[in-house]
């Protein structure tokens, strides 16, 4: 599948593609027998064909901060494969944007939080890009307007 995508990118464009956005790629871990390492490898191949690659996932990591110590698990379990993929993806990122609903549910004045943080891989020093790590809260009104507040 990735070979077809990369071949079409090679055939259709003379220059690198500006942006590629991949959404819900973790479904491949459920639907196929691909491993998280193979999926990361193929995403890296796509990343070489573009200037910016965005991977959008609606899942969160199951185990954070070594919560999995002492727990036995099988890499055949799709949820473990997704967790492994997301952790590896976070380690390959330059920028992370996290959008989360309130843990306690929806409040009248706040719907959730938006966090912008640096990834593990730094930007090229020649680009002089700096990331302002910030956290915001957001509120979605009844008429579907989004209001953003600095936390």
Distances (CA, A) of 89 to 50, 80, 121, 134: 17, 14, 11, 21
| Beta pairing partners, 50 | 17
Question: Chain centroid to CA 52: how far?
Answer: 13
Cβ atoms 50, 18 nearer than 8 A: yes
Cβ atoms 140, 146 nearer than 8 A: yes
Asked whether the whole model's pTM tops 0.85, one would answer no
* pLDDT at residue 80 is higher than 50: yes
Q: Predicted confidence band at 77 (pLDDT cuts at 50, 70, 90)? A: confident
Q: How far apart are CA 69 and CA 134, in angstroms?
A: 30
Q: Could you tell me the sign of the dihedral formed by the alpha carbons of 124, 86, 24, 148, in that order?
A: negative
Here the tokens at position 2 are 């990735």
Report the run of H or E that residue 115 belongs to, with start and end: strand 112-118
Per DSSP, helices labelled H in 23-128 are 27-31, 36-47, 78-91
Condensed to tens digits (0 to 9), the pLDDT of residues 91-144 reads: 888 888 888 888 887 678 888 999 998 888 777 766 667 778 899 999 988 899
Here the tokens at position 151 are 């936390």
């Amino acid at each position: 599948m990735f070979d077809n995508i990369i071949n079409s990118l090679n055939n259709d464009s003379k220059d690198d593609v500006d942006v590629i956005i991949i959404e819900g790629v973790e479904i491949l871990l459920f639907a196929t027998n691909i491993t998280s390492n193979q999926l990361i490898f193929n995403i890296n191949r796509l990343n070489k064909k573009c200037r910016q690659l965005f991977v959008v996932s609606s899942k969160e990591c199951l185990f954070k901060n070594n919560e999995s110590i002492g727990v036995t698990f099988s890499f055949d379990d799709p949820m473990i494969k997704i967790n492994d993929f997301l952790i590896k993806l976070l380690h390959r990122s330059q920028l992370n944007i996290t959008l989360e609903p309130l843990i306690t549910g929806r409040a009248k004045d706040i719907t959730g939080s938006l966090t912008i943080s640096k990834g593990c891989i730094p930007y090229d020093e020649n680009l002089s890009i700096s990331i302002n790590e910030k956290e915001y809260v957001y509120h979605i009104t009844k008429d579907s307007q989004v209001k953003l507040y600095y936390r």
